[in-house]
Amino acid sequence: MRSFLLAGTCAASILLAVSSVQAADIDYVPEPQGWEWYVSVLAGWSNPDGIDGTTGGGYYYDLDLDDGFVAGIALGAHINEWVRAEVEVSGHWHDVDGTVYPFDTVEGDADAMFALANLWIDLPLSEIVRPYFGGGVGLGRLDLDIEWTNGDTAFDDSDWGFAYQLGAGVALNITDNIALDFGYRYKVINNAEVEMEQNGEDVEVDYQSHNFIAGIRLEM
Round the average pLDDT of the chain to a whole number and report it: 86
What pLDDT sits at residue 184? 98
What pLDDT sits at residue 112? 98
Q: How does pLDDT run across 50-99, given as a tens digit for each residue?
A: 999 887 777 888 999 999 999 999 999 999 989 999 999 999 999 999 99
What pLDDT sits at residue 49? 97
Stretches where the chain sits below pLDDT 50 are: 1-32
What pLDDT sits at residue 65? 97
Domains in the chain (CATH in brackets) are 2-219 (2.40.160.20)
Predicted model pTM: 0.82
CA 45 → CA 60, 185, 186, 205, distances in Å? Answer: 29, 10, 12, 22
- Listed in sequence order, the residues at least 6 apart from 140 whose beta carbon sits closer than 8 Å to its beta carbon are 112, 113, 114, 115, 160, 161, 162, 163, 187, 188, 189, 192, 207
For residues 134 and 83, is the Cβ–Cβ distance under 8 A? no
What pLDDT sits at residue 75? 98
What pLDDT sits at residue 5? 42
CA pair distance 142, 8, nearest whole angstrom: 27
Secondary structure (3-state) at 6? helix
What pLDDT sits at residue 178? 97
For residues 139 and 165, is the Cβ–Cβ distance under 8 A? no
Cβ of 57: how many Cβ atoms within 10 Å?
11
What pLDDT sits at residue 34? 58
What pLDDT sits at residue 58? 76
Residue 9 belongs to what H/E stretch?
Answer: helix 2-24
